[in-house]
A and B are shown apart, each in its own frame.
Chain A
Amino acid sequence: MKINKSSKVVIDNIKKKTDNNPDIIFKTKKYGKFELNIIFCESMTDRLTINDYILEFLSKTDQNVKTNNIVEYLTDRLPVTKVSKITTEDELIYSVLSGLTVILINGEEEALAMETRTMLNSDITESKNEKTLKGPKDGFTESYQTNLGLLRKRLKTSDLRVTEHRVGTVGKALVSVVAINNIVNKELLEYVNKKIAEIDIDAVLDVNQIIELISSNEKNIFPNYVATERPDYAANLLLEGRIAIVLENVPEVGIIPVFFKDFFNSPEDHYSRPLNATVNRIIRLFALLITLLTPAIYIAITTFNHESIPSNFLINLTTQRDGTPFTTIIEAILMGISFEILKETDTRAPSPIGSSLSIVGALVLGEAAVTAGIVSPIMVIIIAITAISGLIVSYADVSQAIRIWRFIFMIGATVAGIFGVLLIGIIFVANLSSIKSFGMPFGAPYAPLIPDDAGRAFVLTFFQKYIKRNKLITKNKYKSRER
């Protein structure tokens, strides 16, 4: 709806629409022969900016206004960073609610919006969930502009394309799709932009919701995107030709497409010496196998495949199992669930309670349960090593997906021993290879096999040798100008 020439009508409309919301302030001011209505939302604006620049400027200059085109006049002279013209009432309300100050001029069809947003956002802090020893320490924040700025800071090129969308009929969140134009796969970029524009929902509050709305892979438990808190990692992935989705008020940036191996790589890998990073990656792979398989293999060898362990180990295990009341699988599930509960409460509990919780958990689950003869000591070790290895993946979605598979493996082991573990293993690999992340095979570079990248997913060479990009994602093959 166009802005009515009469300010009174407009203000009445706004009041009606916002149901007389108390924090929207209307202030009428004479300015020469014009009547200005200054509208802003108290909770979203920086009062100092309004007082010091807008109101003061208007007060000082209201005597000598010598123009008829007040809109142009004010646009030129107002001492604020950004003044934009708005022509519709909806836009006006949106501007006010997002913290801009609007000057509505009686008798004009255009209004002026000025940047006066206050910083409601946290400062740039260190990323909490993806820790590294080396490399940049800054992390994304709740501020949309800051997040875009953090990305731009690293990619100062005109090719960095930011396409902005507004998503949600109620939430009206800003979403931007960021990519490097000459590297990204244009079809995918277009597809993502189109899908985001088509989203029809009241509000989105997290990147995950957007990704779910635009992808067709909601059945799988593994995420088809990586949500990173680290601008350096995001920039790195953008350089590979991927697409970043930045959502307002979310301190994480979603990156698509993604491969399974990406969850086990740390941004730090490229900041360390290649051999060390290679060893780290192999350790992470081992940790993945341990956290997936240890309880299952333990169950298998103690209930079915007794002959597959050395005699001394068998004697040892039997000694520990002696006198415990539950069967191995019950014991494993009991301990596994106890640990998961402990982990969940530790995440949710207020931090002062958290530490006492972990002490009680460690004492009860670890020490007392064994002394009381309820569980065997080896089971505590198994659960502990499983839990520790599980923490190697910093992305919660992935570690939770691995947890579900761990239980499936345990059931397989209970039904058919090592054979069952193998069977579930086949299903697991088949499942991984069948996932697609925005058209890209999740299992790459192993399924399908891409010889160039297959080795490099684990073995890192010196950075100067990294001149090729992943050819699944981009057609722009080379990183350096020299080939």
Chain B
Amino acid sequence: MKNFIKILIFISTILLLTGCWNYRELNDLGIVSAISIKQSKENEDKIELTIQFMNIQKASGESGATINNVSMPITTTTVKGKTIHEALREATKYSPKKPYIGHMDLVVIEEETARKGIIDIIDFFLRDSESRKQFKVFISKNGDETDVLSVVSLLEGFPSKSMISTLESGASFTGHTVSVNYDELISLIFSDGIEGIAPYIFVKGDAKKGSTVDNTEETRPIANIEIEGTAIFKGNKMVGYLEEMESLGLNIIRNRLTSSTIPFICEDNKYITGEAITSKSGFDIDFSKEIPKVTLNVEMDTFLSEVNCKKNLTKTKVIKELEKNGGKEIKKIIEGTLNMVQKKYNTDVIGLGNYIKKEHYKEWKKLKDKWYDIFPNIEIEVKTKFTIVKKGETILPAEGYKLGI
């Protein structure tokens, strides 16, 4: 008996150590799939939140509660509050279930709000125990932040899943945008010598009609979500926007390119497509002068996936020439990106400072304080090595067989 009491005391003390104590049945959860954040136009100190709830319905169709045979996968609510948490609790006034953000897929922040600084408002997601830190962060075009959460699509049941898939495939198969998780964004913002980036999202078409069931009944959807380009930050404020090719350059420089198609000139107005298979980049820095001189080495292996000109690809000379053209093309892309981030926005999203900090810490200590004074003036020489590893399933171009070359 004495032992039993001892054990009981032990167990009860362990129970006190537990952090979360929330028994909630699955049916009581209002699963939030996405949230959009914007600063209220009417009163400056309030935040306007649009919350997208998943509409969970019974799997077996016959006994499920569908109204007029119409079932939308989501429902959205717009609420206001001084802080995000207050606004979320405000949502219980409209929703029978308490919002549960543990499985939230994404957060959309309006561009104008992002330009004023995001850290002050999204601390909540870092602090809250319920929130996972893996959700994606998007920056939306002004006025679109509510609409992007309302458009429904046919291909994927839940719009938020659809947006995530679109982002992932866009980032990994074209490199025209970037895919960033919340925790990554936070760490980019707070790291030295590197700045935050986020994908840019907007609605194409009529968002009003896109949020109705009509959108899934058309073969050509009335409204579509489009993710393209990159919003770039300086500190915690958004400062600018990179077009898709500039984003591609950014991905190449940041060594994040998994795959992309790179069309380059072969003759006159005819193009060849190189499918980038691997891409490696690295900085080489010369500190002898006051302003360091940087060489950016890019190596890219490609498969030829499309040849729309009459070239005899069996000849080494021709391949060499094509590789040179390709190298020029990516050099052009990268220089376009560098021009934007160095000259126009003066923000080190390419992570050059971070690289110096990691590899040449002594130099970084000297440069640290005046980094943004010298960053636009750093001369970055781009050296490219473009390799064609495979010519595809056929050797001659389609036209070549007729010509007999």
In whole Å, how far is B354's beta carbon from the nearest beta carbon of chain A?
31
- Interface-forming stretch among B14-22, B289-297, B364-372? B14-22
Q: Tell whether A328 is near chain B: CB-to-CB under 8 Å.
A: yes
Considering only residues 277-333 of chain B, those with a C-beta below 8 Å from chain A are none
Q: Which residues of A contact B54 (CB under 8 A)?
A: 315
A318 touches B27 (CB 8 A): yes
A419 touches B18 (CB 8 A): yes
B57 touches A319 (CB 8 A): yes
Q: Tell whether B4 is near chain A: CB-to-CB under 8 Å.
A: no
Q: Which residues of B contact A328 (CB under 8 A)?
A: 25-26
B27 touches A373 (CB 8 A): no
| Count: A-B pairs, CB below 8 Å | 66
Query: In the assembly, what is the distance between CA of A316 and CA of B57, in Å?
Result: 10
Chain B minimum-CB-distance residue to A414:
B23
**Total chain A interface residues with beta-carbon distance under 8 A:** 26
Q: Which residues of A contact B59 (CB under 8 A)?
A: 316, 319-320, 377
Q: Tell whether B58 is near chain A: CB-to-CB under 8 Å.
A: yes
Q: Tell whether B56 is near chain A: CB-to-CB under 8 Å.
A: yes
Interface centre among A302, A315, A316, A324 (most CB of B within 10 A): A315
- Interface-forming stretch among B99-107, B261-269, B343-351, B383-391? B99-107
A318 touches B11 (CB 8 A): no
Query: In the assembly, what is the distance between CA of A377 and CA of B18, in Å?
Result: 32
B25 touches A416 (CB 8 A): no
Q: Which residues of A contact B22 (CB under 8 A)?
A: 304
Q: Tell whether A306 is near chain B: CB-to-CB under 8 Å.
A: yes
Q: Tell whether A303 is near chain B: CB-to-CB under 8 Å.
A: yes
Query: In the assembly, what is the distance between CA of A304 and CA of B54, in Å?
Result: 19
Q: Tell whether B6 is near chain A: CB-to-CB under 8 Å.
A: no
Query: In the assembly, what is the distance between CA of A323 and CA of B100, in Å?
Result: 19
B25 touches A321 (CB 8 A): yes
Chain A minimum-CB-distance residue to B11:
A423
Q: Which residues of B contact A323 (CB under 8 A)?
A: 27, 58, 63, 65
Q: Tell whether A322 is near chain B: CB-to-CB under 8 Å.
A: yes
Q: Which residues of B contact A327 (CB under 8 A)?
A: 25
Q: Tell whether A311 is near chain B: CB-to-CB under 8 Å.
A: yes
Q: Tell whether B132 is near chain A: CB-to-CB under 8 Å.
A: yes
A306 touches B29 (CB 8 A): yes
Chain A minimum-CB-distance residue to B15:
A416
Report if A319-B58 is in contact (Cβ < 8 Å); known contacts: A307-B103, A314-B31: yes
A318 touches B26 (CB 8 A): yes
Q: Which residues of B contact A373 (CB under 8 A)?
A: 63
Query: In the assembly, what is the distance between CA of A35 and CA of B235, in Å?
Result: 122
Query: In the assembly, what is the distance between CA of A315 and CA of B104, in Å?
Result: 12
Q: Tell whether A162 is near chain B: CB-to-CB under 8 Å.
A: no
Considering only residues 30-54 of chain B, those with a C-beta below 8 Å from chain A are 31, 54
In whole Å, how far is A11's beta carbon from the nearest beta carbon of chain B?
59
In whole Å, how far is A310's beta carbon from the nearest beta carbon of chain B?
9
In whole Å, how far is B127's beta carbon from the nearest beta carbon of chain A?
15
Q: Tell whether B220 is near chain A: CB-to-CB under 8 Å.
A: no
Q: Tell whether A317 is near chain B: CB-to-CB under 8 Å.
A: yes
Q: Return the CB mask of A365-405 against B: 1 if under 8 Å, else 0.
A: 00000000100010000000000000000000000000000
In whole Å, how far is A378's beta carbon from the nearest beta carbon of chain B?
10
A314 touches B25 (CB 8 A): no
Interface centre among A314, A316, A328, A423 (most CB of B within 10 A): A314
B58 touches A423 (CB 8 A): no
B103 touches A306 (CB 8 A): yes
Q: Which residues of A contact B158 (CB under 8 A)?
A: 315
A318 touches B56 (CB 8 A): yes
Q: Tell whether B130 is near chain A: CB-to-CB under 8 Å.
A: yes
Q: Which residues of B contact A414 (CB under 8 A)?
A: 23
Report if A304-B25 is in contact (Cβ < 8 Å); known contacts: A315-B31, A322-B57: no
Query: In the assembly, what is the distance between CA of A414 and CA of B63, in Å?
Result: 29
Considering only residues 306-347 of chain A, those with a C-beta below 8 Å from chain B are 306-307, 311, 314-324, 327-328
B24 touches A423 (CB 8 A): no
Report if A319-B103 is in contact (Cβ < 8 Å); known contacts: A304-B22, A419-B18: no
Chain B minimum-CB-distance residue to A320:
B59
Q: Which residues of A contact B27 (CB under 8 A)?
A: 318, 321-324
Q: Which residues of B contact A311 (CB under 8 A)?
A: 103, 105, 161
Residue in contact with B132 in the complex, picked from A307, A321, A417, CB distance below 8 Å:
A307
Query: In the assembly, what is the distance between CA of A328 and CA of B158, in Å?
Result: 26
Considering only residues 76-120 of chain B, those with a C-beta below 8 Å from chain A are 100, 102-103, 105
Residue in contact with A416 in the complex, picked from B18, B58, B65, CB distance below 8 Å:
B18
Q: Which residues of B contact A423 (CB under 8 A)?
A: 11, 14
B103 touches A314 (CB 8 A): yes
Query: In the assembly, what is the distance between CA of A144 and CA of B26, in Å?
Result: 58
In whole Å, how far is B13's beta carbon from the nearest beta carbon of chain A?
12
In whole Å, how far is B136's beta carbon from the nearest beta carbon of chain A?
13
Query: In the assembly, what is the distance between CA of A224 and CA of B25, in Å?
Result: 40
In whole Å, how far is B102's beta carbon from the nearest beta carbon of chain A?
4
Report if A304-B26 is in contact (Cβ < 8 Å); known contacts: A315-B31, A322-B56, A322-B58: no
A304 touches B20 (CB 8 A): yes
Q: Which residues of A contact B11 (CB under 8 A)?
A: 423
B18 touches A306 (CB 8 A): no
Query: In the assembly, what is the distance between CA of A171 and CA of B56, in Å?
Result: 67
In whole Å, how far is B20's beta carbon from the nearest beta carbon of chain A?
7
Considering only residues 8-61 of chain A, those with a C-beta below 8 Å from chain B are none
In whole Å, how far is A272's beta carbon from the nearest beta carbon of chain B?
42
Query: In the assembly, what is the distance between CA of A302 and CA of B23, in Å?
Result: 9
Q: Which residues of B contact A307 (CB under 8 A)?
A: 102-103, 130, 132
A306 touches B25 (CB 8 A): no
Residue in contact with B29 in the complex, picked from A316, A318, A419, CB distance below 8 Å:
A318
In whole Å, how far is A63's beta carbon from the nearest beta carbon of chain B?
80
Query: In the assembly, what is the distance between CA of A373 and CA of B64, in Å?
Result: 11
Chain B minimum-CB-distance residue to A313:
B103
Residue in contact with A319 in the complex, picked from B18, B56, B63, B102, CB distance below 8 Å:
B56
Considering only residues 288-312 of chain A, those with a C-beta below 8 Å from chain B are 302-304, 306-307, 311
Query: In the assembly, what is the distance between CA of A328 and CA of B59, in Å?
Result: 18
Query: In the assembly, what is the distance between CA of A423 and CA of B18, in Å?
Result: 11
Query: In the assembly, what is the distance between CA of A393 and CA of B357, in Å?
Result: 60
Q: Which residues of B contact A304 (CB under 8 A)?
A: 20, 22-24
Chain B minimum-CB-distance residue to A424:
B11
Q: Which residues of B contact A419 (CB under 8 A)?
A: 18
Considering only residues 77-116 of chain A, those with a C-beta below 8 Å from chain B are none
A302 touches B132 (CB 8 A): no
Q: Which residues of A contact B23 (CB under 8 A)?
A: 303-304, 414, 417
Query: In the assembly, what is the distance between CA of A324 and CA of B63, in Å?
Result: 12
In whole Å, how far is B49's beta carbon from the nearest beta carbon of chain A?
20
Q: Which residues of B contact A416 (CB under 8 A)?
A: 15, 18
Q: List 22 A-B contacts (CB under 8 A).
A: A302-B25, A302-B26, A303-B23, A304-B20, A304-B22, A304-B24, A306-B29, A306-B103, A307-B103, A311-B105, A317-B26, A318-B27, A320-B59, A321-B25, A322-B27, A322-B56, A322-B58, A323-B27, A323-B58, A323-B65, A328-B25, A416-B18
10 closest Cβ pairs, A-B complex: A307-B102, A321-B26, A311-B103, A318-B56, A319-B59, A318-B26, A322-B58, A302-B26, A303-B23, A306-B102
Residue numbers of A with Cβ under 8 A of B are 302-304, 306-307, 311, 314-324, 327-328, 373, 377, 414, 416-417, 419, 423
Please name 10 further chain A to chain B contacts, defined as beta carbons within 8 Å, in addition to the given A314-B31, A318-B56, A323-B65, sorted by A numbering: A303-B23, A303-B24, A306-B29, A307-B102, A319-B59, A322-B57, A323-B63, A328-B26, A414-B23, A419-B18
